[in-house]
Amino acid sequence: MSVIPLINIAALFAGPSAARDQADAALAHAAFEIGFMIVRGQPPELRANDADRRLLLRLFEIPPSRQRSLWKRNFAAENRHLYRDWFPLSSSIAGNREGFELGPDILRPLTTDGTDDVLCEPTPMPSPQLVPDNWLVTAKAYFAAMESIGFQILDSLSRSLGIDVRIFRDAFQDGISTLRLLHYPAPEQTHQSTENDPGRFIEIAGKAVEQTTRPHVDSGLLTVLAQCGVGGLQAADHQGNWLDVPVHDDGFVVNFGGFMELWTGGRIKATRHRVLSRGQERFSVPFFFEPRPSTRIAPLPGSPPTAAAFAPFLYGDHLWALTTRFPENFGLEALRPPREPASLATVPKLSIG
């Protein structure tokens, strides 16, 4: 592919039809060939629009002096929360990214395996005095809409893979998906020095360009992203060429993580991507659609004989092993012992950097 495909998914929200078959085929082609696409056409009653995103992103108007109670423990030792909530600008050497993470507990109680699990920790919420009156209502509706879109995409891919839709449906029931609000300040507000920050700037056409997000593969399964009006996202094709991902404020970028490529025997592609600075402030809202920590990942029925063999493992064990490699979670590995330690040695290593 030389461009990122744009796919109308309206037919996925109705019953079987020729239009749904066409949408299935388009999604499968994009998932199997490049692992990146833009989807649009979701029902308007799903609260997943630009106006709602702008309201949610007003969170970043909270004064720095009032943010600290929301920071993760890595950045405010007096706080209890580890996995959810705010990672501040100080979470990176460049000071060029901050984010706030919400979990499904804003919609429903989380089920666990009977033990405390940091992956199921509740989301500490901002004080109502610090955000618009309907901020939490909007966050709940947006989260629910992202889940609805995610399930329809997984159902479509199940049909194309020739597997029972209940395999993915059951795995993601009571999952631990994350809605992340991201803010990238304008360049003049960040630390411009490259000292101790190799790879932050690259040369393109003789000019130094900042990589606000380095090339990586997502660690999970399915990401649904709103770019919020400013481009810069790029995906790599099979030859290593970088393709610009167009901005569609009425649509979403969909891509797949390393676990999905592994789980599907390589049929669905996990694609490296990056974000280049466009010289202005940028926001984005990714939704990481993830199953229960106790979900056992095993080769899917019909996996090709050339697929990498692996022993079944628990999703939560490997999610924690990977997420603690990111700056906002450095040093937390020992705080969640694996539920099945042996499986950590049997799954192929996933490259996320």
Neighbours of 68 (CB within 10 A): 13
- Tell me whether residue 284 is exposed, middle or buried, using C-beta atoms within 10 angstroms of its C-beta: 0 to 12, 13 to 18, 19 or more: buried
Given this model, what pLDDT does residue 353 score? Answer: 42
CB neighbour class for 138 (10 Å; exposed up to 12, middle 13-18, buried from 19): buried
Q: Is it the case that residue 162 has pLDDT exceeding 90?
A: yes
Give residue limits of the domains in the chain: 6-345
d(C-alpha 118, C-alpha 7), whole Å: 36
Q: Which residues contact 310 (CB under 8 A, 6 or more apart)?
A: 262, 299, 346, 347, 348
Contact 65, 56 (CB under 8 A): no
* Count of residues making up the chain: 353
Residue 144, Cα to own-chain centre: how many angstroms? 15
Please write down the HEC assignment for all residues of 198-235: CCCEEEECCEEEEEEEEEECCCCCEEEEECCCCCCEEE
* 220 close to 259: Cβ distance less than 8 angstroms: yes
pLDDT of residue 298: 87
Percent of the chain with pLDDT over 90: 59
174-201 as b/e: b if 16+ CB within 10 A: bbbbbbbbbbbbebeebeeeeeeeeebb
pLDDT at 215 over 70: yes
Given pLDDT bands bounded at 50, 70 and 90, which one contains residue 198? low
pLDDT in tens, 250-303: 899 999 998 899 899 999 999 999 999 888 899 999 999 999 999 998 889 888
Per-residue pLDDT, 310: 82
What pLDDT is recorded for position 64? Answer: 86
Query: For the residues 328-352, what does the mean pLDDT come to?
Result: 73
Q: Above 60 in pLDDT, residue 352? A: no
What are φ and ψ of residue 163, in 5° steps? -115, 160
Say which residues have a Cβ less than 8 Å from residue 86's Cβ, sequence separation at least 6.
67, 70, 71, 72, 98, 99, 100, 101
Tell me, what's the pLDDT at 25? Answer: 98
Residue 197 has pLDDT above 70, yes or no: no
Taking alpha carbons only, the member of 118, 91, 98 closest to residue 328 is 91
Q: What is the DSSP string of 114-133?
A: SS--GGG---PPPPGGGS-T
The pLDDT-based confidence of 308 (bands split at 50, 70, 90) is: confident
6-345: CATH topology: Jelly Rolls (2.60.120)
Q: What percent of the chain is modeled with pLDDT above 70?
A: 92
Instruction: Between 284 and 209, name the one with better pLDDT.
Output: 284
Per-residue pLDDT tens over the stretch 19-44: 999 999 999 999 999 899 999 999 99
d(CA 307, CA 267): 9
Return all residues near 225 (Cβ < 8 A) that are at least 6 apart. 233, 252, 253, 254, 255, 284, 285, 286, 287
pLDDT of residue 193 exceeding 60: no
What is residue 350's predicted lDDT score, i.e. its pLDDT? 54
Higher-confidence position of 275 and 188: 275
pLDDT over 80 at 114, yes or no: no
pTM, rounded to two decimals: 0.93
Task: List alpha helices for 57-181, DSSP H.
Answer: 64-67, 135-161, 165-172
Strand ranges across the sheet with 233-236: 201-204, 207-216, 273-276, 233-236, 242-244
pLDDT of residue 326: 81
The whole-number pLDDT of residue 86 equals 95
pLDDT at 235: 94
Please write the tens of the pLDDT for every residue from 116-161.
889 999 999 999 999 999 999 999 999 999 999 999 999 999 999 9
* Cα(43)–Cα(48) distance, integer angstroms: 9
| Alpha-carbon separation of residue 10 from 24, 39, 51, 228, 285 (angstroms) | 11, 9, 21, 21, 21
